Structure 1
Amino acid sequence: MRISRRVLAAAAVIAVLPLSACGSGGDDGGSADASGKIEGDITFQTWNLRANFKPYFEGLIAEFEKQYPGTDVKWIDQPAEGYADKISADAAGGTLPDVVNVSPDLVAPLAKAGLALDLDKAARQYKKEYLPGAWAGHQIPGMSGTYAFPWYLNTGPLFYNKSLFDKAGLDPDQPPKTYDELFTAALRIAEKTDGEVATLANVPTIEDFGRYGVPLMNKEGTGFTFNDAKGVELLTKYKELYDAKALDPQALTATPESSGKKFLTGAVAMNPGSALDLGNFKKQAPNLYKNIGITDQITSTGHVNMYVMGVMVNAQTERKPAAVAFAHFVTDAEHQMSFAKQVAIFPSTAGSLDDPYFTQEDGTDETRVRVAAAQSLKTAVNYTPVLFSEQMKTELRNAVARALQGKESPKEALDNAVKACDRLLQQQG
């Protein structure tokens, strides 16, 4: 996946396979046995990583081929645009590479079609090497098994503008820690600035409902449940913020990039981000950087949100031992750590987050963010359901917009969104 200012935040693009490609749930395309000699030619596909990390991957492949004489890894890198469509076309046409860089939502239709190897069967000896939450990231509701090795993770703090808090009479050194405190502070800032400064710039997404403690799906993975009383409560709170201009009026059409710009210009008091953003603040908004506050994600569950990227093995590969060995090689502790030191992401391997690189601060904000994020990742959760497609996200976003604009009540809007998402879920096969 392309690593950018919003690392992994835009990673969820569902690949809906043609119905003709669908297999029986849990079918792994043949034997899950990955034992045998590690040899032969395999293909490895990444998601827009060649431009920035060509030397890293060429070195990684050379190291693997040296360790396993008789192997040859052909590296393919696909552009970010249309990646899901490319995977869908390859899956339908029988040309899916042996080892594929995926996000959890991309792996779901492949697993349902019997094209993703079940690692709980084929590579269970490696499970203990990874953080439990990361290993679970590529499990599919309603199916047994795990369908990709966890690769890199990311999460981030909430940034806030201390000067805007101070001007509103709020303690700039005591940012909101709970949702109640957040909503109270947001209304206060809007009131004190006559609606000129919003505290938040984005409408709630599915992960926000998850962080608030809303149950998102039933355990069987057959239906969505985010329209329960707690979900309605959250959307009702956002409606109150929207009416008071404590939620930016343009939030209905906002993107992470547009929200970031609003935060840079002082039009918004708080915004989520990552360590990568600090360098951007320093260059583009030195006054903001001087007044930057850093606090934890707000959650009612005690678990922050985690984005996870994975490496899947094609269940139909003719070189299963080599493909599994290489997927594990890419994602083992040594290679995840070396990759994490090149870019602001985090390894998914157990124990890696205890490395001094992730535990020791040097007095800079960058290391402060990195250390805090690494600590929170140990118990983080990927709240976005793997079955929650782009179409479903659109349905939820439209429902939220109708509620905020007063066209439907929060309950009516969420009820309709759940009905629409359930219909789309049935169409996934």
Structure 2
Amino acid sequence: MPIPRRTFAVAAVAALVLPLSACGSSGGDGGSTDASGKVEGEITFQTWNLRANFKPYFEDLIAAFEEKYPDTHVKWVDQPGEGYADKISADAAGGTLPDVVNVSPDLVAPLAKAGLALDLDKAAGQYEKEYLEGAWASHQVPGMEGTYAFPWYLNTGPLFYNKSLFEKAGLDADKPPTTYDELFDTALRLAEKTDGEVATLANVPTIEDFGRYGVPLMNKEGTAFSFNDAKGVELLTRYKELYEAGALDSQALTATPESSGKKFLTGAVAMNPGSALDLANFKKQAPSLYKNIGITDQITSTGHVNMYVMGVMVNAQSERKPAAVAFAHFVTNSAHQMSFAKQVAIFPSTAGSLDDPYFTREDGTDETRVRVAAAKSLKTAVNYTPVLFSEQMKTELRNAVAKALQGKESPKEALDNAVKACDRLLTQQG
């Protein structure tokens, strides 16, 4: 994924539709899970839009691996962010999937079902203890046994707010909202005090927001969605109230992460989620905002913030499994994740790494303040977006939210219809 962009934190991946008959039996391994044996041979490693910014890092990483295992050769290919899911789908269908692949959890699910993602619980279970529990679990697929990718880098972030906008509305800029009730009350007050000129939020709720609110998103078997329960309806009802009062930006129904970020940069909205990556952007593009930036914790009803996670998958049909598993583990081990995290504002998924002074000591700057707070929260963070929640499902939920906010359907009716549509799509995944 393109780490330098704020879209890393909220990236949506296009749904993969794999012709299972071409890829192996659904739910199988697509081959032996035995990754023992000599680490040798040529393997292909595919990343996701990382060459432009991190070419020296990966060239050095590969050289170190090949020095450790002299009988190996790693061919590195890097795909652009645009159409990455389609590229993986085409390679899967054509039998040309690389040996080691940079993936997100929602890309892993269809590949695992198609028998193309190696079950690491069976092939490399000895490494599980090296990673954070929540990170290792992030590439597990409901309804299937196993873990289908090594966790790699993580991200999360705070809620940023514009102190000057708070002050203009007569709000205490040093006491930002810490609960959903406070958030909604603050938003309504700010809209009222500015005659609707300044909204507090720029985005409609996504599946991740329902998760943070404490809504049960899916049953444990992974066979049906459940975000239309009473708590889900409650959240959407509150957002409808914000929308009608002008506390939710008027263009929220069509907003993208980029457009929402621009709204915050220009002072059109008072609050916006982000990550440590954003601070440098604020400093460069909006110095006046940077001087007035407020930083507060992600709001959640569960006590657990959202974890955004990337992984490294091994092709279950690789002819060089020992080398592929060894390299995937090498890329994601503690030392290499730590060195990568110091090059860009992301976080390692390895156990104990977040206790390093780099992630625990502040030096008085906002950058270290955000980094330390994020690292602490990641220890118990979860990936709220279900791995089976495809891009089509995201569209169904977004359309339902829009109908509810516009008054075309009640929040209950809209979510009921969204769940029905998502359940239907779920059965089509195989």
**TM-score tier (shorter):** over 0.9
Amino acid of the structure 1 residue aligned with 2:175: Q
Cα distance, 1:19 vs. partner? 4.1
Take 2:389 and 2:22, find their aligned partners in 1: how far apart are those partners?
20
Q: Is the 8 A contact 2:196 2:245 kept in 1?
A: yes
Change in 2 beyond 3 A, CA 1:111/1:55: same
1:117 is matched with which residue?
Answer: 118
Cα distance, 1:26 vs. partner? 3.3
2:347 is matched with which residue?
Answer: 346
1:74 is matched with which residue?
Answer: 75
Stretch deviating more after TM superposition (280-289 or 406-415): 280-289
Task: Give CA-to-partner distance per residue, 1:234-283, whole Å, 9 cap, x none.
Answer: 00000000000000010000111111111111110100111121111112
Q: How many residues align?
A: 429
Q: Is the 8 A contact 1:176 1:185 kept in 2?
A: yes
Amino acid of the structure 2 residue aligned with 1:370: R
> Equivalent residues in 2 for 1:167-186 (5 A)?
167-186=168-187
| SS of equivalent residue, structure 1 residue 180 | helix
Amino acid of the structure 2 residue aligned with 1:292: I
1:321 is matched with which residue?
Answer: 322
> Equivalent residues in 2 for 1:260-279 (5 A)?
260-279=261-280
Take 2:86 and 2:148, find their aligned partners in 1: how far apart are those partners?
19
Matched, 1:87 2:58: no
Cα distance, 1:13 vs. partner? 2.8
Cα distance, 1:23 vs. partner? 4.2
1:242 is matched with which residue?
Answer: 243
Cα distance, 1:150 vs. partner? 0.2
Matched, 1:2 2:2: yes
Change in 2 beyond 3 A, CA 1:8/1:162: closer
| SS of equivalent residue, structure 2 residue 10 | coil
> Equivalent residues in 2 for 1:247-396 (5 A)?
247-396=248-397
| SS of equivalent residue, structure 1 residue 347 | coil
Take 1:320 and 1:180, find their aligned partners in 2: how far apart are those partners?
51
Task: Give CA-to-partner distance per residue, 1:140-161, whole Å, 9 cap, x none.
Answer: 0000100000000000100001
Cα distance, 1:30 vs. partner? 2.0
Matched, 1:144 2:140: no
Amino acid of the structure 1 residue aligned with 2:188: L
Q: Is the 8 A contact 2:44 2:77 kept in 1?
A: yes
Take 2:6 and 2:302, find their aligned partners in 1: how far apart are those partners?
26
1:131 is matched with which residue?
Answer: 132
| SS of equivalent residue, structure 1 residue 305 | coil
Stretch deviating more after TM superposition (166-175 or 377-386): 166-175
Q: Is the 8 A contact 2:12 2:391 kept in 1?
A: no
Cα distance, 1:7 vs. partner? 2.1
Gap regions ≥5 residues in structure 2: none
Percent identity, aligned pairs only? 88
The alignment yields a C-alpha RMSD, in angstroms, of 0.9
Amino acid of the structure 2 residue aligned with 1:2: P
Q: Is the 8 A contact 2:215 2:229 kept in 1?
A: yes
Cα distance, 1:8 vs. partner? 3.9
Q: Is the 8 A contact 1:11 1:103 kept in 2?
A: no
Take 1:376 and 1:330, find their aligned partners in 2: how far apart are those partners?
24
Amino acid of the structure 2 residue aligned with 1:244: A
Matched, 1:213 2:214: yes
2:158 is matched with which residue?
Answer: 157
Take 2:16 and 2:2, find their aligned partners in 1: how far apart are those partners?
17
Take 2:22 and 2:349, find their aligned partners in 1: how far apart are those partners?
31
> Equivalent residues in 2 for 1:389-408 (5 A)?
389-408=390-409
1:417 is matched with which residue?
Answer: 418
Amino acid of the structure 1 residue aligned with 2:47: T
Q: Is the 8 A contact 1:22 1:112 kept in 2?
A: no
Q: Is the 8 A contact 1:16 1:428 kept in 2?
A: yes
Cα distance, 1:22 vs. partner? 5.5
Task: Give CA-to-partner distance per residue, 1:151-174, whole Å, 9 cap, x none.
Answer: 000001000011111121211111
Gap regions ≥5 residues in structure 1: none
Take 2:354 and 2:264, find their aligned partners in 1: how far apart are those partners?
30
Cα distance, 1:5 vs. partner? 2.3
Take 2:25 and 2:176, find their aligned partners in 1: how far apart are those partners?
50
Take 1:399 and 1:351, find their aligned partners in 2: how far apart are those partners?
42
Q: Is the 8 A contact 2:199 2:268 kept in 1?
A: yes
Cα distance, 1:288 vs. partner? 1.2
Give the TM-score taking structure 2 as reference length: 0.98
Cα distance, 1:11 vs. partner? 4.6
Cα distance, 1:18 vs. partner? 1.9
Take 1:131 and 1:422, find their aligned partners in 2: how far apart are those partners?
31
Take 1:187 and 1:111, find their aligned partners in 2: how far apart are those partners?
45
